[in-house]
Copies of this chain bind each other. A is one copy, B any other.
Amino acid sequence: MQKVFGMSFDPLTLKYNEKGLIPAIAQEESTGDVLMMAWMNAEAVQRTIETGRVTYWSRSRKQFWVKGETSGHVQNLVELRIDCDRDCLLVVVQQAGPACHTNRKSCFYTALKRGEEVEILSPLVTKN
């Protein structure tokens, strides 16, 4: 048995909030687009690294949420980055299809323009 690579990084060295969660921002590698922000617990961080599939913790469903598991709109991990305070993560990803549950590429599809909310991204047309 050969260990492919060692892993000295310990997700428990990150700083979690009082609910044991850390915010994770997903950014698309190819475009630099910020796709979404969701939350991870230490186990989700571990699973994301081990599987290469970005895995969040769903606060509403109180369960692990392998992004795209049901929709197919998976996020393949390219690189995980940690901020200076160790209390926020940036996951650089390859995004399959739209990241947002509204079928838009990014969850940040509403912009303020002259004090008004404007929709700046339309839902993607997906092939059947």
Count of identical protomers in the assembly: 2
* Residue of B whose beta carbon sits closest to that of A45: B112
Is A34 close to B, CB under 8 A? yes
Q: Is the interface of A mostly helix, strand, loop or mixed?
A: loop
Decide: A100 and B84 in contact? CB cutoff 8 A: yes
Residues of B within 8 A of A6 (CB): 114-115
- Count chain B CB atoms within 10 A of each CB in A9, A36, A112 and give the residue with the most: A112
Decide: B9 and A37 in contact? CB cutoff 8 A: no
Decide: B80 and A109 in contact? CB cutoff 8 A: no
- Count chain B CB atoms within 10 A of each CB in A36, A81, A117 and give the residue with the most: A81
Decide: A88 and B37 in contact? CB cutoff 8 A: yes
Q: How far is the CB of A111 from chain B (nearest CB, A)?
A: 5
Is A108 close to B, CB under 8 A? yes
Residues of B within 8 A of A34 (CB): 25, 27, 34, 90
Q: How far is the CB of A64 from chain B (nearest CB, A)?
A: 19
Is A69 close to B, CB under 8 A? no
Decide: A9 and B108 in contact? CB cutoff 8 A: no
Decide: B79 and A107 in contact? CB cutoff 8 A: no
Complex: A109 Cα to B107 Cα, angstroms: 24
